[in-house]
Amino acid sequence: MERTLSIIKPDGVAKGLIGEVIKRFESHGLKVAALKMISMNKKQAEGFYDVHRQKSFFNSLTDFMSSGPCVVLILEGEGAIEKNRQLMGATDYTKADPGTIRADFASSIEQNIVHGSDGPETARYEIGYFFNALEIVR
């Protein structure tokens, strides 16, 4: 079984989409193995997005991600990383397939409702960033 890290970003929480997003995960065979609501400060958001530190959007992105509460989840299932990416749709919501979370709800390339790990190594790092062993269902 594969695991991936998902974040319902501050825009998703503010728009009242927590239930809708989790319903999409669960109805497509992804099980929730851990879940919590957090409020990241700027430093914590910067640490999470460290790989994007040199990007032009880094400051704006980390301001946004520390602007309000997020829900962080571990999703588990066969091919969970890819399945989650398909359910989210492309980062740029204008290029996301119809029926994906971002196509349906995102309002900009930055405020795109959800984050998902992009590969196994990223998933391990991102899960470890938010969850300790006691918080993960076995």
Does 122 contact ligand CMP by CB under 6 A? no
Q: Which residues of 50-79 are buried (b: 16+ CB within 10 A; e: fewer)?
A: eeeeeeeebeebbebbbbeebbbbbbbbee
Does 82 contact ligand CMP by CB under 6 A? no
Does 67 contact ligand CMP by CB under 6 A? no
30/39 Cα distance (integer angstroms): 24
Which of residues 94 and 137 has its CB atom nearest to ligand CMP in the complex?
A: 94
Does 110 contact ligand CMP by CB under 6 A? yes
Which x/- pattern, by CB under 6 A, does the window 35-54 give for ligand CMP? -----------------x--
The three-state secondary structure class of 75 is strand
Structure-block tokens of residue 55: 């990007």
Task: Identify whether 115 is a catalytic site residue.
Answer: yes
Q: Which range of residues in 93-101, 104-112, 119-127, 129-137 is near ligand CMP by CB under 6 A? A: 104-112
7/98 Cα distance (integer angstroms): 21
The three-state secondary structure class of 34 is strand
Does 4 contact ligand CMP by CB under 6 A? no
Q: Which range of residues in 28-36, 38-46, 72-80, 106-114 is near ligand CMP by CB under 6 A? A: 106-114
8 A C-beta contact, residue 70 and residue 3: no
By CB under 6 A, name the binding residues for ligand CMP: 52, 57, 61, 91, 109-110, 112, 115
Task: Give the residue numbers marked as catalytic.
Answer: 115
